[in-house]
Amino acid sequence: SFLKTIKKKNNSINAFLEIKEDEAIQAAEKIDSKIEKGAEVGKLAGLAVGIKSNINIEDFKITAASKTLENYIGSYNATVVNRIKEQDGIILGVTNMDEFAAGSSTETSYFGYTENPAVPGRIPGGSSGGSAAAVAAEMCDLSLGSDTGGSIRNPASHCGVMGFKPTYGVVSRQGLLDLAMSLDQIGPFAQDAGGIALMLDTIAGYDPIECTSLKDTPDFGGITEKSQDALKGMKVGVVKEFFDVSDDKIVNIIEERIDKMTEAGAEVVELSFDYIDLCLPTYYLINYVEFFSATRKYDGRKYGYRIEDVCGDEVLRRIHIGSYISQKEYSGKYYKKALQARSLIRREITKLLGGVDVIVGPTVPKLPHKLGESLDTMEMYAYDVLTVIANLAGIPAASMKAGEVDGIPVGLQIQGKPLDDAKIIHAMAGLE
Ligand code: GLN
């Protein structure tokens, strides 16, 4: 039935870039016969999964939505893909994204934009716009994205689904084409908290071949059963500055949601974060430098084309500025300062989280723009101000639908302490 939906809707939505129909059906039949024989099946048995185009899957075109890798075929499975297969998840195909995950709208894909299924004519957000749209349009049960500065939470917010960025190191990045390796995490999209927990239970956990993978990771098993009264007695931090930078209509929706949390027994604690103005410059400086370094392998010899010859403007901007900053580094003028600012941001948000269970607020400060509307670079980057903090600090953060403004979904962001990922899912299950 998912394949039918994809056939019907994908031409206009463009969530999937490649589908392997026969393989998917074969995988499903194999699980069916296992069940018939009474054999044990995995946690994801029968569930259909979409995978972002920057995560390696053997024999699929893994392009990161760039012409650079137009003809690159995955030669191995990322650790997360192996784990999904081990649990009998059915991989349907590869989803669209911004080129190399550098964006917030999925408009920079070499294979054309993705349309927001919840609000036709608008962007789905990005960079994992295809993965969010695929779940929102009911083309699959679950999908994976990557989140470097918001790329899971931002499209989850705009498409009205759930998206989760784990604590840095909880999910292996092995097989992910990196945007900025000190910030990147893979995470799931789902319609509900149970789906998020199930996928995290599948993909999280130590991976001996990934050097930033953590030894001890949270347990995501059986979360939804325990969550009925999750909000009772929960201390919920509300940061004034996160509301000051957001659209009034978004603020109203989020405030209504917070009132509902109070009714369900949560205690609201008002907080203040001093470094909101530092977040975007710090994030983009680090992103440019790490991305520049990551792209040096795309020199046209081993993988596809030389990136500078074929990439889009945003990717080129990051390569040029990243190269410039790296050359100037001996003077310690930019990158070193960005690392200092990152420490400051991490310390401040961790301090605030010390006094509460979770921090809640808007995921994205503005509503998604119309497809074809042209935004300048700073307007584009302004989408990210509330999501980059979690990546800079390495903390877990999720987005779930809080309500709608004129039919456009608005996401509630929930951020937690490092390794307190499960608590965020409890809160989401309590809010469903
Ligand atoms: N929009 C942010 C950027 O362009 C975040 C992207 C991401 O998380 N991959 O870098």
pLDDT digits (tens, 9 = 90+) for 325-360: 999 887 788 999 999 999 999 999 999 999 999 999
**Two tokens at 146?**
């990557």
Pocket test for ligand 1, best of 131, 314, 384 (most atoms within 8 A of CB): 384
**Two tokens at 180?**
């900025």
**Two tokens at 115?**
């349309």
Report how far residue 140's alpha carbon sits from residue 353's, in angstroms, rounded to the nearest whole number. 35
**Two tokens at 360?**
């809640």
143 Cα: distance to centroid of ligand 1 (angstroms)? 18
pTM metric for this prediction: 0.98
**Two tokens at 122?**
């608008």
158 Cα: distance to centroid of ligand 1 (angstroms)? 15
Let me know the angle formed at the C-alpha of 422 by 238 and 283, rounded to the nearest 5 degrees.
55
Report the pLDDT value the prediction gives residue 226, as an integer from 0 to 100: 64
Pocket of ligand 1 (CB under 6 A): 101-104, 127, 146-151, 179, 287, 384
- Residue numbers annotated as active site: 52, 127, 151
Report how far residue 37's alpha carbon sits from residue 132's, in angstroms, rounded to the nearest whole number. 35
DSSP secondary-structure letter at 122? B
Report the pLDDT value the prediction gives residue 331, as an integer from 0 to 100: 75
CB 244 within 8 A of CB 230: no
20 Cα: distance to centroid of ligand 1 (angstroms)? 28
Report the pLDDT value the prediction gives residue 386, as an integer from 0 to 100: 98
- Please identify, by atom number, the ligand 1 atom nearest to the C-alpha of residue 148: 8
243 Cα: distance to centroid of ligand 1 (angstroms)? 21
Pocket test for ligand 1, best of 52, 55, 98 (most atoms within 8 A of CB): 98
The β-bridge partners of 244 are none
The β-bridge partners of 187 are 145
CB 155 within 8 A of CB 126: yes
* Residue 58 three-state SS: coil
Run of H or E including 20:
none
Burial class (CB in 10 A: 0-12, 13-18, 19+), 327: exposed
Complex-level ipTM beyond the 0.85 threshold: yes
Report how far residue 261's alpha carbon sits from residue 417's, in angstroms, rounded to the nearest whole number. 19
Relative to beta strand 408-416, strand 267-271 is unpaired
* Residue 187 three-state SS: strand
Q: Quickly count: other Cβ atoms within 10 Å of residue 302's Cβ.
A: 8
103 Cα: distance to centroid of ligand 1 (angstroms)? 5
| Residue ranges of E strands in 149-191 | 162-165, 185-190
Report how far residue 220's alpha carbon sits from residue 173's, in angstroms, rounded to the nearest whole number. 18
Burial class (CB in 10 A: 0-12, 13-18, 19+), 224: buried
Class of domain 2-431 (CATH, top level): alpha beta
- Please identify, by atom number, the ligand 1 atom nearest to the C-alpha of residue 152: 8
Report the pLDDT value the prediction gives residue 225, as an integer from 0 to 100: 64
| Residue ranges of E strands in 130-233 | 142-147, 162-165, 185-190
Per-residue pLDDT of the chain (432 residues; tens, 9 = 90+): 999 999 999 999 999 999 999 999 999 999 999 999 999 999 999 999 999 999 999 999 999 999 999 999 999 999 999 999 999 999 999 999 999 999 999 999 999 999 999 999 999 999 999 999 999 999 999 999 999 999 999 999 999 999 999 999 999 999 999 999 999 999 999 999 999 999 999 999 999 999 999 999 999 987 776 676 889 999 999 999 999 999 999 999 999 999 999 999 999 999 999 999 999 999 999 999 999 999 999 999 988 999 999 999 999 999 999 999 999 887 788 999 999 999 999 999 999 999 999 999 999 999 999 999 999 999 999 999 999 999 999 999 999 999 999 999 999 999 999 999 999 999 999 998
Q: Quickly count: other Cβ atoms within 10 Å of residue 324's Cβ.
A: 14
Region of residue 86 (left: phi > 0; alpha: psi -120 to 50; beta: else): alpha
The β-bridge partners of 361 are 413
Total residues found in the chain within this entry: 432
Domain range summary for the chain, segments of one domain joined by +: 2-431
Please report which residue ranges of 204-355 form alpha helices under DSSP H: 240-244, 248-263, 276-295, 307-310, 313-328, 335-354
The residue with tokens 């995470």 is 187
Pocket test for ligand 1, best of 53, 107, 151, 318 (most atoms within 8 A of CB): 151
In 3D space, the residue among 170, 155, 190 whose CA is nearest the CA of residue 83 turns out to be 170
Nearest CA residue ID for atom 5, ligand 1: 149
Nearest CA residue ID for atom 10, ligand 1: 102
- Please identify, by atom number, the ligand 1 atom nearest to the C-alpha of residue 384: 1
To the nearest 5 percent, what fractions of the chain are helix, strand and coil?
Answer: 40, 15, 40
